[in-house]
A and B are shown apart, each in its own frame.
Chain A
Protein backbone atom coordinates (compact mmCIF):
# COMPACT_ATOMS: atom_id res chain seq x y z
CA UNK A 1 0.00 0.00 0.00
CA UNK A 2 1.41 3.36 -0.94
CA UNK A 3 1.39 6.13 1.62
CA UNK A 4 0.15 9.53 0.63
CA UNK A 5 2.38 12.57 0.72
CA UNK A 6 0.61 13.91 3.82
CA UNK A 7 1.05 10.60 5.67
CA UNK A 8 4.74 10.68 5.04
CA UNK A 9 5.05 14.27 6.13
CA UNK A 10 3.06 13.79 9.28
CA UNK A 11 4.85 10.76 10.62
CA UNK A 12 8.33 11.54 11.93
CA UNK A 13 10.86 9.12 10.52
CA UNK A 14 14.31 7.90 11.40
CA UNK A 15 17.02 8.29 8.80
CA UNK A 16 16.80 4.58 8.15
CA UNK A 17 13.08 4.79 7.45
CA UNK A 18 13.63 7.59 4.94
CA UNK A 19 16.20 5.61 3.00
CA UNK A 20 14.09 2.46 3.26
CA UNK A 21 10.86 4.14 2.11
CA UNK A 22 12.66 5.59 -0.90
CA UNK A 23 13.76 2.12 -2.06
CA UNK A 24 10.87 -0.24 -1.38
CA UNK A 25 9.59 -1.48 -4.71
CA UNK A 26 7.03 -3.83 -3.20
CA UNK A 27 5.96 -4.96 0.26
CA UNK A 28 6.10 -8.74 0.58
CA UNK A 29 4.72 -11.28 3.02
CA UNK A 30 6.13 -11.65 6.52
CA UNK A 31 7.48 -8.11 6.88
CA UNK A 32 9.79 -8.59 3.93
CA UNK A 33 10.18 -6.08 1.14
CA UNK A 34 11.61 -5.96 -2.33
CA UNK A 35 14.27 -3.27 -1.90
CA UNK A 36 15.95 -1.60 -4.87
CA UNK A 37 19.74 -1.66 -4.83
CA UNK A 38 21.45 1.43 -6.25
CA UNK A 39 24.89 -0.15 -6.40
CA UNK A 40 26.35 -3.63 -6.05
CA UNK A 41 29.96 -4.26 -5.08
CA UNK A 42 31.19 -7.59 -6.44
CA UNK A 43 34.37 -9.35 -5.29
CA UNK A 44 36.08 -12.51 -6.47
CA UNK A 45 35.21 -14.84 -3.57
CA UNK A 46 31.41 -14.54 -3.53
CA UNK A 47 30.50 -13.32 -7.03
CA UNK A 48 31.44 -16.11 -9.50
CA UNK A 49 28.79 -18.61 -8.33
CA UNK A 50 25.97 -16.07 -8.76
CA UNK A 51 27.34 -14.85 -12.07
CA UNK A 52 27.42 -18.46 -13.34
CA UNK A 53 23.82 -18.99 -12.25
CA UNK A 54 22.72 -15.97 -14.27
CA UNK A 55 24.83 -17.06 -17.22
CA UNK A 56 23.42 -20.60 -17.20
CA UNK A 57 19.78 -19.94 -16.40
CA UNK A 58 19.05 -16.32 -17.29
CA UNK A 59 20.92 -15.80 -20.58
CA UNK A 60 23.71 -13.91 -18.83
CA UNK A 61 21.42 -10.88 -18.57
CA UNK A 62 22.23 -8.49 -15.75
CA UNK A 63 19.68 -5.94 -14.59
CA UNK A 64 22.07 -3.02 -15.09
CA UNK A 65 25.84 -3.49 -15.33
CA UNK A 66 26.29 0.24 -14.69
CA UNK A 67 25.06 -0.36 -11.15
CA UNK A 68 27.81 -2.88 -10.42
CA UNK A 69 31.47 -2.35 -9.57
CA UNK A 70 33.83 -5.33 -9.46
CA UNK A 71 36.91 -5.50 -7.23
CA UNK A 72 39.49 -8.27 -6.93
CA UNK A 73 40.31 -7.81 -3.28
CA UNK A 74 40.51 -10.82 -0.99
CA UNK A 75 43.62 -12.45 -2.40
CA UNK A 76 45.13 -10.06 -4.90
CA UNK A 77 47.44 -10.77 -6.60
CA UNK A 78 46.43 -14.42 -6.54
CA UNK A 79 48.39 -16.76 -4.28
CA UNK A 80 47.74 -19.95 -6.23
CA UNK A 81 45.91 -21.39 -9.21
CA UNK A 82 42.52 -21.46 -7.52
CA UNK A 83 42.58 -17.82 -6.46
CA UNK A 84 43.95 -16.88 -9.87
CA UNK A 85 40.89 -18.52 -11.42
CA UNK A 86 38.57 -16.62 -9.07
CA UNK A 87 40.16 -13.33 -10.10
CA UNK A 88 40.04 -14.27 -13.77
CA UNK A 89 36.35 -15.18 -13.57
CA UNK A 90 35.52 -11.82 -12.00
CA UNK A 91 37.75 -9.96 -14.46
CA UNK A 92 36.33 -11.70 -17.56
CA UNK A 93 32.75 -11.26 -16.32
CA UNK A 94 33.29 -7.56 -15.64
CA UNK A 95 34.86 -6.99 -19.04
CA UNK A 96 32.13 -8.93 -20.84
CA UNK A 97 29.43 -6.76 -19.28
CA UNK A 98 31.29 -3.45 -19.30
CA UNK A 99 31.37 -3.40 -15.50
CA UNK A 100 33.82 -1.02 -13.83
CA UNK A 101 36.68 -3.18 -12.55
CA UNK A 102 39.33 -2.43 -9.95
CA UNK A 103 42.08 -4.94 -10.44
CA UNK A 104 45.72 -5.53 -9.54
CA UNK A 105 47.51 -2.20 -9.24
CA UNK A 106 44.41 -0.06 -8.61
CA UNK A 107 42.49 -2.24 -6.22
CA UNK A 108 42.28 -2.81 -2.50
CA UNK A 109 39.72 -3.93 0.04
CA UNK A 110 36.31 -3.37 -1.53
CA UNK A 111 34.94 -1.44 1.47
CA UNK A 112 37.90 0.92 1.23
CA UNK A 113 37.93 1.25 -2.56
CA UNK A 114 34.18 1.81 -3.09
CA UNK A 115 33.99 5.01 -1.00
CA UNK A 116 37.41 6.30 -2.01
CA UNK A 117 36.37 6.09 -5.67
CA UNK A 118 33.17 8.02 -4.98
CA UNK A 119 30.73 5.12 -5.41
CA UNK A 120 28.96 5.48 -2.06
CA UNK A 121 26.29 8.18 -1.85
CA UNK A 122 24.15 9.36 1.04
CA UNK A 123 20.62 7.99 0.89
CA UNK A 124 21.51 5.21 -1.52
CA UNK A 125 21.27 1.45 -1.08
CA UNK A 126 24.28 -0.82 -1.54
CA UNK A 127 24.74 -4.58 -1.47
CA UNK A 128 27.79 -6.82 -1.49
CA UNK A 129 28.44 -10.47 -0.78
CA UNK A 130 30.52 -9.52 2.22
CA UNK A 131 29.40 -8.99 5.80
CA UNK A 132 31.47 -5.83 6.30
CA UNK A 133 29.46 -3.93 3.69
CA UNK A 134 27.97 -2.17 6.72
CA UNK A 135 31.13 -0.01 6.63
CA UNK A 136 29.47 2.06 3.92
CA UNK A 137 26.66 3.09 6.25
CA UNK A 138 29.08 5.81 7.35
CA UNK A 139 27.86 7.80 4.33
CA UNK A 140 24.18 7.56 5.18
CA UNK A 141 23.69 4.67 2.76
CA UNK A 142 21.68 1.55 3.64
CA UNK A 143 24.50 -0.90 2.96
CA UNK A 144 23.81 -4.58 3.32
CA UNK A 145 26.12 -7.57 3.47
CA UNK A 146 24.40 -10.53 1.83
CA UNK A 147 25.04 -14.05 0.58
CA UNK A 148 25.96 -15.01 -2.96
CA UNK A 149 22.39 -15.87 -3.95
CA UNK A 150 21.05 -12.54 -2.70
CA UNK A 151 23.84 -10.66 -4.48
CA UNK A 152 23.06 -12.69 -7.59
CA UNK A 153 19.39 -11.76 -7.27
CA UNK A 154 20.37 -8.10 -7.13
CA UNK A 155 22.56 -8.55 -10.21
CA UNK A 156 19.62 -10.20 -11.99
CA UNK A 157 16.69 -8.06 -10.87
CA UNK A 158 18.13 -4.97 -9.19
CA UNK A 159 16.63 -5.86 -5.82
CA UNK A 160 17.15 -7.64 -2.53
CA UNK A 161 14.50 -9.28 -0.41
CA UNK A 162 14.98 -7.71 3.02
CA UNK A 163 13.16 -8.38 6.26
CA UNK A 164 12.42 -4.86 7.48
CA UNK A 165 14.78 -4.32 10.43
CA UNK A 166 14.03 -2.51 13.65
CA UNK A 167 16.01 0.64 14.37
CA UNK A 168 18.22 1.24 17.38
CA UNK A 169 19.43 4.78 17.99
CA UNK A 170 22.97 4.83 19.36
CA UNK A 171 23.53 8.33 20.67
CA UNK A 172 27.14 9.41 21.04
CA UNK A 173 27.99 12.18 23.49
CA UNK A 174 31.31 13.79 24.39
CA UNK A 175 34.53 13.36 22.45
CA UNK A 176 37.19 10.72 22.10
CA UNK A 177 40.17 11.33 24.39
CA UNK A 178 42.60 9.42 26.65
CA UNK A 179 44.01 7.63 23.62
CA UNK A 180 40.63 6.17 22.68
CA UNK A 181 39.89 5.89 18.96
CA UNK A 182 36.99 5.02 16.68
CA UNK A 183 38.07 1.36 16.95
CA UNK A 184 37.65 1.53 20.70
CA UNK A 185 34.19 3.01 20.17
CA UNK A 186 33.35 0.19 17.74
CA UNK A 187 34.54 -2.45 20.23
CA UNK A 188 32.65 -0.69 23.04
CA UNK A 189 29.43 -0.81 21.02
CA UNK A 190 29.81 -4.56 20.48
CA UNK A 191 30.77 -5.17 24.12
CA UNK A 192 27.80 -3.04 25.27
CA UNK A 193 25.18 -4.67 23.04
CA UNK A 194 26.73 -8.11 23.16
CA UNK A 195 27.84 -10.26 20.27
CA UNK A 196 24.28 -10.79 19.07
CA UNK A 197 22.62 -7.85 20.81
CA UNK A 198 22.16 -5.91 17.60
CA UNK A 199 20.52 -8.75 15.67
CA UNK A 200 17.44 -7.55 13.81
CA UNK A 201 18.37 -3.88 14.18
CA UNK A 202 19.94 -1.17 12.11
CA UNK A 203 22.27 0.83 14.36
CA UNK A 204 21.48 4.45 13.56
CA UNK A 205 24.17 6.62 15.13
CA UNK A 206 23.20 10.04 16.44
CA UNK A 207 24.41 12.72 18.83
CA UNK A 208 26.71 15.75 18.93
CA UNK A 209 29.83 13.60 18.97
CA UNK A 210 29.28 12.51 15.37
CA UNK A 211 30.37 15.90 14.06
CA UNK A 212 33.81 15.31 15.64
CA UNK A 213 34.35 12.05 13.74
CA UNK A 214 36.09 11.97 10.35
CA UNK A 215 34.80 9.76 7.51
CA UNK A 216 37.61 7.28 8.24
CA UNK A 217 36.47 7.09 11.86
CA UNK A 218 32.81 6.76 10.91
CA UNK A 219 33.67 3.88 8.58
CA UNK A 220 35.51 2.12 11.41
CA UNK A 221 32.47 2.54 13.67
CA UNK A 222 29.96 1.28 11.08
CA UNK A 223 32.30 -1.53 9.99
CA UNK A 224 31.79 -3.41 13.24
CA UNK A 225 27.98 -3.11 13.40
CA UNK A 226 27.85 -6.66 12.02
CA UNK A 227 29.93 -7.87 14.97
CA UNK A 228 26.96 -7.06 17.22
CA UNK A 229 24.78 -8.97 14.77
CA UNK A 230 23.22 -5.75 13.45
CA UNK A 231 21.73 -5.57 9.98
CA UNK A 232 23.99 -2.60 9.31
CA UNK A 233 25.19 0.72 10.73
CA UNK A 234 24.05 4.14 9.59
CA UNK A 235 25.33 7.68 10.08
CA UNK A 236 23.53 10.71 8.65
CA UNK A 237 25.50 12.76 6.13
CA UNK A 238 26.87 16.20 7.08
CA UNK A 239 29.50 18.68 5.92
CA UNK A 240 32.22 16.12 6.69
CA UNK A 241 30.52 13.67 4.31
CA UNK A 242 30.01 16.27 1.58
CA UNK A 243 33.63 17.45 1.85
CA UNK A 244 34.81 13.85 1.50
CA UNK A 245 32.76 13.34 -1.65
CA UNK A 246 33.43 16.75 -3.25
CA UNK A 247 35.95 16.30 -6.04
CA UNK A 248 35.95 12.49 -5.88
CA UNK A 249 36.01 10.57 -9.13
CA UNK A 250 32.58 9.23 -10.13
CA UNK A 251 30.97 12.31 -8.61
CA UNK A 252 29.91 15.31 -10.70
CA UNK A 253 31.68 18.63 -10.27
CA UNK A 254 30.56 22.21 -9.71
CA UNK A 255 26.86 23.05 -9.58
CA UNK A 256 25.85 19.50 -10.44
CA UNK A 257 27.58 18.22 -7.31
CA UNK A 258 26.19 21.03 -5.13
CA UNK A 259 22.66 20.20 -6.30
CA UNK A 260 23.21 16.65 -5.08
CA UNK A 261 24.44 18.03 -1.76
CA UNK A 262 21.23 20.06 -1.45
CA UNK A 263 19.29 16.81 -1.70
CA UNK A 264 21.58 15.01 0.75
CA UNK A 265 21.07 17.77 3.33
CA UNK A 266 17.46 16.58 3.64
CA UNK A 267 18.70 13.19 4.81
CA UNK A 268 18.41 13.48 8.56
CA UNK A 269 16.25 11.79 11.13
CA UNK A 270 13.18 13.82 12.09
CA UNK A 271 13.52 15.19 15.63
CA UNK A 272 10.50 13.24 16.88
CA UNK A 273 11.37 9.97 15.17
CA UNK A 274 10.57 6.95 17.32
CA UNK A 275 13.15 4.19 17.74
CA UNK A 276 12.70 0.57 18.74
CA UNK A 277 15.59 0.80 21.17
CA UNK A 278 17.88 3.54 22.52
CA UNK A 279 21.49 3.31 23.68
CA UNK A 280 23.79 6.16 24.78
CA UNK A 281 27.55 6.09 24.87
CA UNK A 282 29.76 8.82 26.33
CA UNK A 283 32.89 8.97 24.21
CA UNK A 284 34.75 10.89 26.91
CA UNK A 285 34.63 7.82 29.13
CA UNK A 286 36.15 5.45 26.59
CA UNK A 287 39.60 3.93 26.91
CA UNK A 288 41.57 1.84 24.44
CA UNK A 289 39.89 -1.57 24.21
CA UNK A 290 41.41 -4.99 23.59
CA UNK A 291 39.58 -8.26 23.05
CA UNK A 292 40.58 -11.22 25.20
CA UNK A 293 38.15 -13.90 23.89
CA UNK A 294 36.87 -15.49 20.70
CA UNK A 295 34.18 -13.05 19.65
CA UNK A 296 34.45 -9.27 19.31
CA UNK A 297 32.06 -8.68 22.21
CA UNK A 298 34.62 -10.24 24.56
CA UNK A 299 36.67 -7.06 24.93
CA UNK A 300 37.62 -4.86 27.89
CA UNK A 301 39.60 -1.64 28.44
CA UNK A 302 43.35 -2.23 28.12
CA UNK A 303 43.90 -1.43 31.79
CA UNK A 304 41.59 -4.29 32.70
CA UNK A 305 41.87 -8.03 33.04
CA UNK A 306 40.18 -11.13 31.66
CA UNK A 307 36.75 -11.09 33.38
CA UNK A 308 35.99 -13.39 36.28
CA UNK A 309 32.89 -14.73 34.50
CA UNK A 310 34.68 -15.32 31.18
CA UNK A 311 33.35 -18.09 28.94
CA UNK A 312 35.26 -21.31 29.56
CA UNK A 313 35.47 -22.22 25.89
CA UNK A 314 36.90 -18.82 24.99
CA UNK A 315 39.47 -19.05 27.79
CA UNK A 316 40.54 -22.52 26.68
CA UNK A 317 40.96 -21.49 23.07
CA UNK A 318 42.86 -18.31 24.02
CA UNK A 319 44.91 -20.09 26.71
CA UNK A 320 44.05 -17.43 29.30
CA UNK A 321 42.64 -17.43 32.81
CA UNK A 322 40.23 -15.05 34.59
CA UNK A 323 41.98 -12.12 36.25
CA UNK A 324 44.92 -12.12 33.84
CA UNK A 325 45.97 -8.50 33.22
CA UNK A 326 45.74 -7.73 29.51
CA UNK A 327 49.05 -5.85 29.53
CA UNK A 328 50.82 -8.99 30.75
CA UNK A 329 49.88 -11.05 27.68
CA UNK A 330 52.85 -11.68 25.35
CA UNK A 331 52.25 -11.36 21.59
CA UNK A 332 53.87 -13.23 18.68
CA UNK A 333 52.75 -11.15 15.70
CA UNK A 334 51.16 -7.77 14.99
CA UNK A 335 48.91 -6.87 12.06
CA UNK A 336 47.68 -3.45 10.98
CA UNK A 337 45.16 -3.59 8.15
CA UNK A 338 41.65 -4.75 7.13
CA UNK A 339 38.45 -2.92 6.23
CA UNK A 340 38.23 -1.81 9.87
CA UNK A 341 41.53 0.03 10.18
CA UNK A 342 43.65 0.38 7.06
CA UNK A 343 42.83 3.86 5.83
CA UNK A 344 45.34 6.73 5.80
CA UNK A 345 44.44 8.05 9.25
CA UNK A 346 44.89 4.56 10.72
CA UNK A 347 48.34 4.27 9.17
CA UNK A 348 49.25 7.72 10.47
CA UNK A 349 48.21 6.72 13.99
CA UNK A 350 50.33 3.57 13.84
CA UNK A 351 53.29 5.45 12.32
CA UNK A 352 53.16 8.06 15.04
CA UNK A 353 53.73 5.30 17.59
CA UNK A 354 56.41 3.50 15.56
CA UNK A 355 58.39 6.58 14.48
CA UNK A 356 61.92 6.19 15.81
CA UNK A 357 61.12 2.89 17.50
CA UNK A 358 61.70 -0.75 16.62
CA UNK A 359 59.23 -3.61 16.62
CA UNK A 360 60.21 -6.67 18.64
CA UNK A 361 57.87 -9.16 16.93
CA UNK A 362 56.94 -9.86 13.28
CA UNK A 363 54.74 -6.92 12.26
CA UNK A 364 52.78 -6.56 9.03
CA UNK A 365 51.27 -3.29 7.81
CA UNK A 366 48.81 -3.65 4.92
CA UNK A 367 47.15 -0.52 3.51
CA UNK A 368 43.48 -0.78 2.60
CA UNK A 369 43.93 0.18 -1.02
CA UNK A 370 46.64 1.00 -3.49
CA UNK A 371 45.48 4.61 -3.33
CA UNK A 372 45.92 4.60 0.45
CA UNK A 373 49.34 3.03 -0.08
CA UNK A 374 50.46 5.79 -2.43
CA UNK A 375 49.09 8.51 -0.16
CA UNK A 376 50.92 6.98 2.81
CA UNK A 377 54.16 6.80 0.83
CA UNK A 378 53.86 10.45 -0.17
CA UNK A 379 53.96 11.20 3.56
CA UNK A 380 56.88 8.86 4.12
CA UNK A 381 54.92 6.46 6.30
CA UNK A 382 56.38 3.47 4.48
CA UNK A 383 59.81 4.57 5.68
CA UNK A 384 58.59 4.89 9.25
CA UNK A 385 57.20 1.35 9.19
CA UNK A 386 60.19 -0.17 7.46
CA UNK A 387 62.69 1.73 9.60
CA UNK A 388 60.91 0.22 12.59
CA UNK A 389 61.40 -3.24 11.11
CA UNK A 390 57.81 -3.86 10.03
CA UNK A 391 56.75 -5.38 6.70
CA UNK A 392 55.01 -2.84 4.43
CA UNK A 393 52.85 -4.68 1.88
CA UNK A 394 50.55 -3.93 -1.02
CA UNK A 395 46.84 -3.66 -0.22
CA UNK A 396 44.85 -6.82 0.49
CA UNK A 397 42.41 -8.37 2.93
CA UNK A 398 45.52 -10.36 3.84
CA UNK A 399 45.70 -12.37 7.05
CA UNK A 400 42.51 -10.83 8.53
CA UNK A 401 40.61 -13.90 7.36
CA UNK A 402 43.52 -16.28 7.26
CA UNK A 403 43.75 -16.46 3.47
CA UNK A 404 47.19 -15.00 2.70
CA UNK A 405 50.06 -12.69 3.60
CA UNK A 406 50.60 -13.46 7.27
CA UNK A 407 48.43 -16.41 8.29
CA UNK A 408 49.03 -17.42 11.92
CA UNK A 409 50.59 -20.68 13.08
CA UNK A 410 48.56 -22.81 15.53
CA UNK A 411 48.85 -21.31 19.00
CA UNK A 412 50.40 -18.07 17.71
CA UNK A 413 48.99 -14.95 19.33
CA UNK A 414 48.41 -11.88 17.16
CA UNK A 415 47.39 -8.38 18.09
CA UNK A 416 45.39 -7.11 15.17
CA UNK A 417 43.56 -3.99 14.00
CA UNK A 418 40.96 -6.23 12.33
CA UNK A 419 37.38 -7.09 13.26
CA UNK A 420 37.12 -10.77 14.16
CA UNK A 421 38.85 -12.88 16.79
CA UNK A 422 36.93 -16.07 16.02
CA UNK A 423 38.72 -19.38 16.55
CA UNK A 424 40.93 -19.99 13.53
CA UNK A 425 39.95 -16.73 11.86
CA UNK A 426 43.52 -15.66 11.05
CA UNK A 427 44.80 -19.21 10.69
CA UNK A 428 44.00 -22.63 12.16
CA UNK A 429 44.61 -22.54 15.90
CA UNK A 430 45.75 -18.90 15.81
CA UNK A 431 44.73 -16.52 18.61
CA UNK A 432 43.65 -12.95 17.88
CA UNK A 433 43.41 -9.88 20.10
CA UNK A 434 41.54 -7.00 18.47
CA UNK A 435 42.71 -3.45 19.12
CA UNK A 436 43.24 -0.05 17.50
CA UNK A 437 46.19 0.59 15.15
CA UNK A 438 47.96 2.63 17.85
CA UNK A 439 47.64 -0.14 20.43
CA UNK A 440 48.76 -2.74 17.86
CA UNK A 441 51.82 -0.59 17.10
CA UNK A 442 52.72 -0.11 20.78
CA UNK A 443 52.27 -3.84 21.38
CA UNK A 444 54.53 -4.58 18.40
CA UNK A 445 57.27 -2.54 20.07
CA UNK A 446 56.96 -4.08 23.52
CA UNK A 447 56.06 -7.62 22.42
CA UNK A 448 53.06 -7.72 24.73
CA UNK A 449 49.69 -5.99 24.85
CA UNK A 450 50.56 -2.35 25.44
CA UNK A 451 49.24 1.16 24.87
CA UNK A 452 51.16 4.07 23.31
CA UNK A 453 51.28 5.99 26.60
CA UNK A 454 53.55 3.29 28.02
CA UNK A 455 56.07 4.09 25.31
CA UNK A 456 55.86 7.78 26.14
CA UNK A 457 56.60 6.97 29.78
CA UNK A 458 59.56 4.83 28.76
CA UNK A 459 60.89 7.60 26.57
CA UNK A 460 60.66 10.06 29.46
CA UNK A 461 62.43 7.67 31.78
CA UNK A 462 65.18 7.13 29.24
CA UNK A 463 65.24 10.83 28.39
Chain B
Protein backbone atom coordinates (compact mmCIF):
# COMPACT_ATOMS: atom_id res chain seq x y z
CA UNK B 1 0.00 0.00 0.00
CA UNK B 2 1.38 3.39 -1.02
CA UNK B 3 0.46 6.83 0.17
CA UNK B 4 1.31 9.45 -2.41
CA UNK B 5 0.51 13.08 -1.94
CA UNK B 6 1.44 16.67 -1.33
CA UNK B 7 3.30 17.71 1.80
CA UNK B 8 2.25 20.17 4.44
CA UNK B 9 5.56 21.24 6.02
CA UNK B 10 5.09 22.10 9.71
CA UNK B 11 8.57 23.05 10.83
CA UNK B 12 7.84 23.05 14.58
CA UNK B 13 8.56 20.74 17.49
CA UNK B 14 6.16 19.82 20.30
CA UNK B 15 2.92 20.48 18.42
CA UNK B 16 0.41 19.59 21.14
CA UNK B 17 -3.13 18.41 20.60
CA UNK B 18 -4.55 21.68 21.97
CA UNK B 19 -2.95 23.37 18.96
CA UNK B 20 -4.17 20.65 16.61
CA UNK B 21 -7.74 21.09 17.84
CA UNK B 22 -8.59 23.30 20.84
CA UNK B 23 -10.84 21.89 23.56
CA UNK B 24 -13.72 24.21 22.77
CA UNK B 25 -14.26 22.19 19.60
CA UNK B 26 -14.57 18.93 21.56
CA UNK B 27 -18.26 19.34 22.28
CA UNK B 28 -19.57 16.88 19.70
CA UNK B 29 -20.37 13.19 20.02
CA UNK B 30 -19.26 11.96 16.60
CA UNK B 31 -15.86 11.43 15.00
CA UNK B 32 -16.63 13.17 11.70
CA UNK B 33 -16.65 16.73 10.43
CA UNK B 34 -13.77 17.98 12.56
CA UNK B 35 -11.42 18.91 9.68
CA UNK B 36 -12.63 22.51 9.71
CA UNK B 37 -11.09 22.92 13.19
CA UNK B 38 -7.69 21.45 12.31
CA UNK B 39 -4.83 23.63 13.63
CA UNK B 40 -7.36 26.15 14.94
CA UNK B 41 -5.22 26.52 18.07
CA UNK B 42 -1.98 27.07 16.19
CA UNK B 43 -0.49 30.47 15.40
CA UNK B 44 -0.39 30.60 11.62
CA UNK B 45 -2.25 27.30 11.32
CA UNK B 46 -5.02 28.59 9.05
CA UNK B 47 -2.51 30.26 6.70
CA UNK B 48 -0.45 27.08 6.51
CA UNK B 49 -3.48 24.99 5.57
CA UNK B 50 -4.58 27.57 3.02
CA UNK B 51 -1.15 27.45 1.40
CA UNK B 52 -1.34 23.63 1.11
CA UNK B 53 -5.02 22.93 0.49
CA UNK B 54 -4.66 19.42 -0.91
CA UNK B 55 -1.84 18.11 1.31
CA UNK B 56 -2.23 14.57 2.60
CA UNK B 57 1.18 14.09 4.25
CA UNK B 58 2.22 16.19 7.25
CA UNK B 59 5.96 16.54 7.86
CA UNK B 60 6.90 17.96 11.24
CA UNK B 61 9.38 17.96 14.13
CA UNK B 62 9.78 15.95 17.33
CA UNK B 63 7.12 15.06 19.92
CA UNK B 64 4.16 15.61 17.62
CA UNK B 65 0.75 15.19 19.25
CA UNK B 66 1.86 15.68 22.84
CA UNK B 67 -0.55 16.61 25.60
CA UNK B 68 -4.21 15.71 25.71
CA UNK B 69 -5.41 12.23 24.69
CA UNK B 70 -8.17 13.68 22.49
CA UNK B 71 -8.59 11.42 19.47
CA UNK B 72 -10.21 14.44 17.87
CA UNK B 73 -6.66 15.39 16.83
CA UNK B 74 -6.47 12.30 14.64
CA UNK B 75 -10.11 12.66 13.50
CA UNK B 76 -9.51 16.26 12.38
CA UNK B 77 -6.44 15.20 10.37
CA UNK B 78 -8.37 12.33 8.74
CA UNK B 79 -11.30 14.58 7.92
CA UNK B 80 -8.92 17.01 6.24
CA UNK B 81 -7.50 14.23 4.07
CA UNK B 82 -4.24 13.46 5.86
CA UNK B 83 -3.03 9.88 5.63
CA UNK B 84 0.45 10.11 7.11
CA UNK B 85 2.43 12.19 9.60
CA UNK B 86 6.22 12.06 9.28
CA UNK B 87 8.21 13.14 12.36
CA UNK B 88 11.31 12.21 14.40
CA UNK B 89 9.10 11.24 17.34
CA UNK B 90 5.50 11.14 18.50
CA UNK B 91 3.78 11.36 21.85
CA UNK B 92 2.46 7.92 22.84
CA UNK B 93 -1.28 8.52 22.82
CA UNK B 94 -1.33 10.35 19.50
CA UNK B 95 0.88 7.62 18.03
CA UNK B 96 -1.72 5.00 19.03
CA UNK B 97 -4.64 7.16 17.89
CA UNK B 98 -2.99 7.65 14.49
CA UNK B 99 -2.73 3.91 13.86
CA UNK B 100 -6.29 3.37 15.06
CA UNK B 101 -7.58 5.90 12.52
CA UNK B 102 -5.60 4.90 9.46
CA UNK B 103 -2.99 7.66 9.71
CA UNK B 104 0.51 6.25 9.29
CA UNK B 105 2.86 7.67 11.94
CA UNK B 106 6.20 7.55 10.15
CA UNK B 107 9.34 7.94 12.27
CA UNK B 108 12.52 9.12 10.54
CA UNK B 109 15.53 10.98 11.97
CA UNK B 110 16.04 14.75 12.17
CA UNK B 111 18.28 14.85 9.09
CA UNK B 112 15.58 13.16 7.04
CA UNK B 113 13.03 15.67 8.29
CA UNK B 114 15.29 18.51 7.14
CA UNK B 115 15.16 17.03 3.65
CA UNK B 116 11.48 16.07 3.67
CA UNK B 117 10.30 19.51 4.84
CA UNK B 118 11.59 20.83 1.54
CA UNK B 119 9.84 18.21 -0.59
CA UNK B 120 6.58 19.33 -2.22
CA UNK B 121 5.38 15.77 -2.64
CA UNK B 122 6.20 12.34 -1.21
CA UNK B 123 5.58 8.70 -1.89
CA UNK B 124 5.34 6.47 1.19
CA UNK B 125 5.45 2.73 0.60
CA UNK B 126 4.01 1.12 3.72
CA UNK B 127 5.03 -2.40 2.72
CA UNK B 128 8.61 -1.57 1.73
CA UNK B 129 8.71 0.95 4.61
CA UNK B 130 10.33 3.71 2.59
CA UNK B 131 9.69 7.39 1.99
CA UNK B 132 10.62 8.54 -1.51
CA UNK B 133 11.22 12.24 -2.22
CA UNK B 134 10.88 13.71 -5.76
CA UNK B 135 14.68 14.13 -6.01
CA UNK B 136 15.07 10.39 -5.56
CA UNK B 137 16.20 10.50 -1.93
CA UNK B 138 14.84 7.54 0.02
CA UNK B 139 14.43 7.18 3.77
CA UNK B 140 13.58 3.97 5.61
CA UNK B 141 11.28 3.59 8.59
CA UNK B 142 9.76 0.79 10.64
CA UNK B 143 6.08 0.45 11.33
CA UNK B 144 4.78 -1.24 14.47
CA UNK B 145 4.42 -4.85 13.25
CA UNK B 146 1.14 -5.31 15.09
CA UNK B 147 -0.52 -1.95 14.60
CA UNK B 148 0.27 -1.58 10.90
CA UNK B 149 -2.65 -3.89 10.12
CA UNK B 150 -4.94 -1.21 11.61
CA UNK B 151 -3.79 1.15 8.84
CA UNK B 152 -5.02 -1.20 6.16
CA UNK B 153 -8.21 -2.48 7.72
CA UNK B 154 -9.00 0.11 10.39
CA UNK B 155 -9.52 -2.89 12.57
CA UNK B 156 -8.49 -2.05 16.14
CA UNK B 157 -11.96 -2.78 17.50
CA UNK B 158 -12.35 -5.89 15.32
CA UNK B 159 -8.99 -7.16 16.57
CA UNK B 160 -10.09 -6.76 20.18
CA UNK B 161 -13.55 -8.17 19.53
CA UNK B 162 -11.89 -11.38 18.35
CA UNK B 163 -10.00 -11.60 21.66
CA UNK B 164 -13.05 -11.53 23.92
CA UNK B 165 -13.29 -15.28 24.55
CA UNK B 166 -9.58 -15.52 25.32
CA UNK B 167 -9.87 -12.62 27.74
CA UNK B 168 -12.81 -14.26 29.53
CA UNK B 169 -10.86 -17.49 29.85
CA UNK B 170 -7.88 -15.59 31.26
CA UNK B 171 -10.16 -13.81 33.70
CA UNK B 172 -11.65 -17.10 34.91
CA UNK B 173 -8.17 -18.45 35.52
CA UNK B 174 -7.27 -15.30 37.44
CA UNK B 175 -10.40 -15.63 39.57
CA UNK B 176 -9.42 -19.21 40.41
CA UNK B 177 -5.89 -18.13 41.29
CA UNK B 178 -4.44 -20.13 38.41
CA UNK B 179 -2.18 -17.43 37.07
CA UNK B 180 1.40 -17.73 38.22
CA UNK B 181 1.63 -14.00 38.78
CA UNK B 182 -1.27 -13.99 41.19
CA UNK B 183 0.69 -15.58 44.04
Contact = CB atoms under 8 A, between A and B. Distances in A.
Contacts of B164: 63, 156-158
Nearest to A401: B23
Contact of A150 (B22, B43, B100, B145): B100
Chain A residues touching B, majority SS: mixed
Interface in A361-393: none
Interface string B130-172: 0000000000000011110000000011011101101110110
Interface string A385-422: 00000000000000001110001000000000000101
Given A80-B27, A89-B29, A199 B91 contact: yes
B52 interface: no
Interface residues of A, number: 70
Chain A CB within 10 Å, residue with most, of B68, B144, B147, B179: B68
B116 to A, nearest CB: 20
Given A196-B14, A423-B19, A424-B18, A402 B24 contact: yes
A233 interface: no
A313 B61 CA distance: 14
Contacts of A200: 92
A440 to B, nearest CB: 21
A147 interface: yes
B77 to A, nearest CB: 13
Contacts of A85: 29
B47 to A, nearest CB: 15
Interface of A: 2-5, 8, 18, 21-22, 25-26, 28-30, 32, 34, 36, 45-46, 48-49, 52-54, 57-58, 63, 75, 80, 82-83, 85-86, 89, 129-131, 145-150, 152-153, 156-159, 161, 163, 195-196, 199-200, 226, 229, 231, 295, 313, 317, 401-403, 407, 420, 422-425, 428
Interface of B: 12, 14, 16, 18-19, 22-24, 26-31, 41-43, 62-63, 66-71, 74, 89, 91-93, 96-97, 100-101, 144-147, 156-157, 159-161, 163-164, 166-168, 170-171, 174, 179-183
